[in-house]
A and B are shown apart, each in its own frame.
Chain A
Amino acid sequence: MQPSDEELYRLMRKGNQDAFAQLYERREPALYRFALHMSGSQAVAEEVSHEVFVQLMGPATRFDETRGSLESFLYGIARNLIRVVRRLGPVLEPVDRPIYHDILGELIGNETTAALHRTLREMPERYRDVIVLCDLEERSYEDVARLIGRPVGTVRSRLHRARALLSAKLKRLNALSEVVTR
């Protein structure tokens, strides 16, 4: 049986590097994708997913098992970091990557998907959170409720509201593409 995140964390705090590596490999990819979808920037996503673990191993970490899971703690750090980055304004990607900010939008190629991704990035955080976690990360409502510390009903209603906003955007985009193709 695999050790839980919390068990790995306890070992990690005692200086067990293998436990830290295991925790990193288990949680970092999803945190990276979460940060990527939330920010739309590869540089930000890399920085955030790195910083989450730097903070985790730092002396000031205040993780308390009785207050929630380690995973939701990690997502909490990531969300705070992304909030700080967004407050600071657009991020310049490194010059060796000829990509500015909306890396996914540009890479996707599909204009509609890119436009939806841009819309997603501009949505209020409470809607972005649930779209990214439920629909892009394919987590269950229960998981997301635990990760963002909200009831399942709230997650569900936020998701439906967020999808309605995106659906409306999609309707406009569809209408626009019909006009263009005519």
Chain B
Amino acid sequence: MTCSEWTMELVECARQQTTPDRELRVHLSICAHCSERWDREQQLTAHFRAMRMQAALQSRNSQRESLMRDFARIHRRKAVPSWVWALGAAAALLLAVFLGHEAGKRNSKAVSPAVRVHGEPVLYEASLDASALSSDDFIAVPYTPPLAPGEMVRVVHADLYPEALASMGVEVDPAWAGDLPADVVVGEDGLPRAVRIAENAQF
């Protein structure tokens, strides 16, 4: 074996702090170079041991708690699983549909609140203003814009709730109960202009 090969072996012996085998011991006894290297390798191992001990004795600031806090914070934020977001989106959608429906109902009430329409509307050309309609048993719906000359109006036969009449601004007799068959004059803009309670209405 060459010195270089013996060196490989003696380094391992020094690292593992084991006694060299007989052959290596014989070589060390006759080779000053390897013997010197063997001494230094043993010293190196001792110095490394000192470094290890010093590193182990180091007191240091533990950052464990702050890391754990960070972990908890990150995962609290992440802890909202995707199904919760899906559920939230579905709820928002339902709410939007509901609100839209409510808004639609409110708008339709503005034109003809709580009205059940029967048959096809009959079209008339407006030659009278809303107050004139009242002369033909029609009750003018107050606070509505006047009809323009030549504006077509529809007379819609409908069952009206007393509340619907009230919402049109028509005075309602508290004795009225249930639906009232009525003719409603509706302008081109969809707004009711006058209401006539049918003669056969039962109060």
Q: Which residues of A contact B (CB under 8 A)?
A: 15, 17, 20-21, 24-25, 28, 32-33, 36-37, 42, 45-46, 49-50, 53-54, 57, 103-104, 107-108, 110, 112-113, 116-117, 131, 134-136, 138, 159-160, 163, 166-167, 170-171, 174
Contact = CB atoms under 8 A, between A and B. Distances in A.
Given A108-B54, A167-B44, 11 more contacts: A33-B55, A36-B55, A49-B63, A53-B67, A57-B74, A113-B50, A135-B44, A135-B48, A166-B44, A167-B40, A171-B40
B15 A107 contact: no
Contacts of B200: none
Given A24-B67, A36-B55, A37-B55, A110 B50 contact: yes
Nearest to B64: A24
B179 interface: no
Interface in B1-51: 7-8, 11, 15, 36-37, 40-41, 43-45, 47-48, 50-51
B78 A15 contact: yes
A103 B79 CA distance: 42
Interface string B153-191: 000000000000000000000000000000000000000
Contacts of A159: 11
A167 B51 contact: no
Contacts of B72: 17
Contacts of B70: 54, 57
Given A20-B68, A21-B68, A163 B54 contact: no
A17 B68 contact: yes
B16 to A, nearest CB: 10
Given A42-B60, A104-B51, A163 B71 contact: no
A113 B47 contact: yes
A167 B112 CA distance: 102
20 contacts: A20-B71, A32-B60, A33-B55, A36-B55, A45-B60, A50-B63, A50-B66, A57-B74, A104-B51, A107-B54, A108-B50, A135-B44, A135-B45, A136-B51, A138-B52, A160-B7, A163-B11, A163-B44, A170-B44, A171-B36
A103 to B, nearest CB: 8
Given A37-B55, A135-B48, A170 B60 contact: no
B61 interface: yes
B41 A167 contact: yes
Nearest to B53: A108
Q: Give the residue among A36, A113, A131, A136 with the most B Cβ atoms within 10 A.
A: A113
Contacts of B43: 170
A131 B15 CA distance: 11
B80 to A, nearest CB: 11
Nearest to A94: B61
Contacts of B47: 110, 112-113, 116, 170
Which 7 A-B residue pairings sit nearest by Cβ, starting from the closest?
Answer: A15-B75, A50-B63, A113-B47, A167-B40, A135-B48, A113-B50, A33-B55
Nearest to B46: A113
A31 B75 CA distance: 24
B135 interface: no
B82 interface: no
A138 B53 CA distance: 12
B10 to A, nearest CB: 10
